[in-house]
Amino acid sequence: MPVEQAREEELLTIHQDAKISSAPLVILLPQSERTRFGTRILSGSQISPEYAALLIGLVIYTSAFIGEIVRAGIQAVPYGQIEAARSLGLTMPQTLRLIILPQALRVIIP
89 backbone dihedrals φ, ψ, rounded to 5°: 95, 10
Tens digits of residue pLDDT in 58-105: 999 999 999 999 999 999 999 999 999 999 999 999 999 999 999 999
Of the candidates 65, 81, 63, 74, the one whose C-alpha atom is nearest the C-alpha of residue 101 is 74
Q: How confident is the model at residue 46 (pLDDT cuts 50, 70, 90)?
A: confident
Measured CA to CA, the distance from residue 108 to residue 56 in angstroms comes to 24
- What pTM was estimated for this model as a whole? 0.56
